[in-house]
Structure formats: structure tokens, C-alpha cells
Amino acid sequence: MPLVAPFRTSFGVETTRDVLLVGAVAEDAEGWGECVAMTSPRYSSEYVDAAADVLRRFFVPAVLSGPVSAVSVAESLAPFKGHQMARAALETAILDAELRASGRSFGRELGAVRSRVPCGVSVGIMDSIPQLLDAVGGYLDEGYVRIKLKIEPGWDVEPVRAVRERYGDDVLLQVDANTAYTLGDARHLARLDPFDLLLIEQPLDEDDLLGHAALARQIRTPVCLDESITSARAAAAAIRLDACQIVNIKPGRVGGYLEARRIHDVCVAHGVPVWCGGMLETGLGRAANVALAALPGFTLPGDTSGSGRYYAADITEPFVLRDGHLDVPVGPGLGVTPIPDRLDEVTVSTEWLPA
């Protein structure tokens, strides 16, 4: 699916997204799960073709070897290592089917307490600061309540300064480094402190919890972990080490929405705010993310942008921003389904794995 504009981060530029969907078909319902792995292993070790392969050869057969339910997926897949995004897609598809069959919504199942959620937007690295300012201005005009700037060495302090000078201190502003820095950059990153940012997201390598703890002692800007948070256990360890003050929860990265809810609960118990990250999802993944973001611990706006932020035409009815918020779907399951003609238009291959 082509993106409406190139999206550049510290690990590369994306112009299209290869979307892997998992459908779970039962007698009384059909569920959908979206795998958020990218085409190449740059954001993480996972990538789309590997996810399809591990689902086909290992995960689906393991899940189908016994009684099938969303809560049993983790146990069925326990013998296998890694591939969290593939796990999440499979679990979500089964959970969606179960909830559709019982008439329950994703939000109700996860514990949502809000009917709509505030939305932020992630702004990629641009060719120039004027281009960045125009992009930020456009998103503010659309009503987004928080701006996130992607940063990397050479594109950090000055872009942030420019946005603050143009749009003022009232704009909720944060930055995301996607592991682009080292602890040796602490003094440089401290130059972001005067701009009163909500947070700096994942400045160091994902396995460097001690480095993040040391960095947090050297800068005033709160440190948020993204790639480092792979499970509720990892979140608890990061919090105990004082490696972060805020947590970004991405369900695909942690193996699914059930584990995402457990991470939420751990963070709430420790008084650590959370927010929902995004991975350029279609309307299927966006529906589940919006439901998750309606849980009580999600006190910061997430990357739950409207469909039009990334796609000129989504595969579901589009999510449209209203007053800076998106409505939480209330229908059974995800509350949205693919539009058949649109899905056919963008589908390049389909494979059925019978029980």
C-alpha cells in the first residue's frame, strides 16, 4: 500500500508498506489480525516474509494442534523464540473472531474507559526545516493534539528549536530517536532540555537499559522506552532500573494485545504513564490500537493518527480525526472489517492453512 508521503526515520525511508494480514475463520465468525513487521529488518529483527514463513511453518500448526482460543495462543507458541509481530497478528485474528461471535468489542474486552482517544502524529525527518514547519503546521491545522518529531544525529536540536519558535510552548511536543544515539551523546541530548519536551523516545539501543538509566540521570527530558519494551517483564525491569519514566506500548512489538494490557497494568501499578505507539497500521490495526489507548493508564496522546495520515485509501472505512480525537469502535470485535473491493485491489497473494 503506497503511503501518501515518504516517511523517514533514523533507520530509513518508507514510501510503501507491505501488509501481512491474518484471517481466522470459524463457523460463526471471521477475525482479522494485522502483522506490523516491515519489509526489511531495520526497525527490529522481524520482517514481513519471515513473519509469513514462521506463521505458515510453525505458529499456525502449533495453534491448530489443540483447542483454539486467544488466551491459549501464548501457551501454544511458548516453545518458539521471537517473532512477536507474527504472534500478535495470529492472536489478534483469533481474539477478533471470538469477540465477534460473542458480540463483544475489543475496547470492552481490554478494559477501555473512554469512548474516544486524543491523537498525536509522528512527523518524519525532512529535507529542510521549512519543509518540517509546513508539515507540522498542517497537522496542527488538522487538529492533532501532540506532535512527535523523528530525530537523528544532525537532525535534532535545530528542528526542535524551529518548531518551538514557530508554534510556541503550548504545543505538546516530543521526539523519537529510534535508537540512533549512544550514551556518549548525553551532553548533546541535554541541549533538548530547554524546549520542555514531553519525552525523548528510545534514544539508545534497545538492549541498553543501564545506558538509558544513566542518560536519565543526565538530562531533564523524561526518557521513554519503545523498542526496549518487549513484555511486561521487560517493562518491570526497565522501571525498576529507572531506565524510563514513560513507556510506549506497541502491541505488535510485545506479542499482542493481551500482553500489551499486562504491560499497561504493570505501568499503572508503578505510576508510570503509557501511550500507544503506531506502526503505519491500516484500519484493522488502528481499530485495535484505538481500543487499547482507551484504557485508563494511557494518559498521553498516542500515535493513533487518522487513516489519511498514511493512506489515501484505507482497506477499511477510514478513521477520521474529530476535534483531535478518534472514536473507539463499539461494534463486535475490532468493530471494523475490510472493504472487499478495496482489499481485493491491494492483495497480491492469499494462502489458506486449513485446520
Residues with a catalytic annotation lie at 150, 250
Tell me the one-letter amino acid at 316: T
Q: Return the number of other C-beta atoms located less than 10 Å from residue 218's C-beta.
A: 12
- How many angstroms separate the Cα of 145 from the Cα of each of 132, 234, 345? 17, 29, 33
- How many angstroms separate the Cα of 192 from the Cα of each of 126, 154, 242, 300? 19, 13, 20, 20
Residue 339's contacts (CB-CB under 8 Å, 6 or more residues apart) are 315, 316, 317
Closest alpha carbon to 274 in 261, 286, 283, 284: 261
111: left (phi over 0), alpha (psi -120 to 50) or beta: left
Question: Taking CA 37 as the corner, what is the angle to CA 70 and CA 117, rounded to the nearest 5 degrees?
Answer: 70
The three-state secondary structure class of 285 is: helix
d(CA 5, CA 15): 7
Tell me the one-letter amino acid at 285: G
